[in-house]
Amino acid sequence: MICIIALITFGILGIFSARYRVIAKEAFRCVFQRLQLKACETGLDNRIKSKLTSKLLRRSPRAARFVYKRFELLSWIFTIVLFASMIYSAYGLYNLFVYGTCDPYSENCLFDIGAPACGCEGLCVCDVETCQSPEYAACEGDCSCQREVCG
């Protein structure tokens, strides 16, 4: 599964440098073969495995042995972490554009682009005669909306 990480990494690097385009194409062929449930015949995974363990061998032979024996498992772990971080980043961007903060339930956001959503610090002024919802502005004027915005 290291081919997926290589495809994403070298695909982005290939935009800026022609040196990485060949590796990105090779990674694409490897991923395409893996999607067909075939073994990767390009040898890219073996080259990456060899290069990584040879660099580790200079510093720590035990770590190099560990990585060499468990390379497939480690590549699966890194692939899962890659996709989990991409999903979490997309969720943060969604919250940033919708609520004006990365995390609408706490104030732990580096990129606040505006005031917090209605209900956090009394920033929402709701006409009590027409609406009883404390999330009036966050719910875009829908008085029946009762979702929790700021926890």
pLDDT (tens, 9 = 90+) of the chain, 151 residues, equals: 788 888 999 999 999 999 999 999 999 998 888 888 888 788 888 888 999 999 999 999 999 999 999 999 999 999 999 999 999 999 888 888 887 777 777 766 666 665 444 444 443 444 444 454 455 455 555 554 444 444 3
Q: Is residue 32 part of a domain?
A: no
Domain that holds residue 123: 117-151
Q: Is residue 142 part of a domain?
A: yes
Residue among 108, 126, 2 nearest 52 (CA): 2
* Backbone torsions φ then ψ of 138, nearest 5 degrees: -70, -30
Token pair 């720590």 is at which residue? Answer: 60
- How many domains does one find in the chain? 1
List % helix, strand, coil for the chain (3-state, nearest 5). 60, 0, 40
Q: Is residue 69 part of a domain?
A: no
d(C-alpha 55, C-alpha 21), whole Å: 23
Q: Is residue 144 part of a domain?
A: yes
Q: Is residue 40 part of a domain?
A: no
Amino acid at 142: D
